[in-house]
Amino acid sequence: MHRDDPLAAFCAAFNKLDKNCTELLYELYTRDVTFIDPFHRIEGVEALEAHFLKLYDNVTECRFVFHDSVRVEQQAYVTWTMQLRHPRLAGGHSVAVEGCSQLTFSTRHPGRVSRHRDYFDAGAMLYEQLPVLGGMVRWLKRRMAN
């Protein structure tokens, strides 16, 4: 990953998050942060912490390997591979999901993110990992590719 101190610090801290360490969110994000992913749109750091607490309560492991990044002024993009382990997905085995985050760093609160949007294949992360539905989704994706 390209060396950008606020972005590198954000990525390093993000990997420290777990169900016992969600208070880091208050150091990473502004109070009025907007967080968007394929499943959610969350407004405010308190709501984001509640979301992460619920998320991590059911997750056995969630780690990111960060790859390429670019930052131009307040906008940053970073690609990543998430290693997710959940007891109800893929038989409890680790699932690798590739994605990209678009981050907007605050001008009023240096080093903090005011908008975070994640892009990833929701099917690869969730639907393909479910017992009956997973087989159908994988079959459909193969059919669409031909």
Q: Structural domain boundaries of the chain?
A: 5-120
pTM: 0.82
Torsion of CA 135, 127, 12, 27, to 10 degrees: -170
Cα three-residue angle 104-8-99, rounded to 5 degrees: 65
- Spatial neighbors of 54 by CB under 8 A, at least 6 apart, are none
The per-residue pLDDT for range 27-83, each reduced to its tens digit, is 999 999 999 999 999 999 999 999 999 888 888 888 999 999 999 999 999 999 999
Sign of CA dihedral 21, 22, 23, 29: positive
Cα three-residue angle 7-43-45, rounded to 5 degrees: 55
The per-residue pLDDT for range 74-119, each reduced to its tens digit, is 999 999 999 988 777 667 778 888 999 999 999 999 899 999 999 9
| Residue range 5-120, CATH number | 3.10.450.50
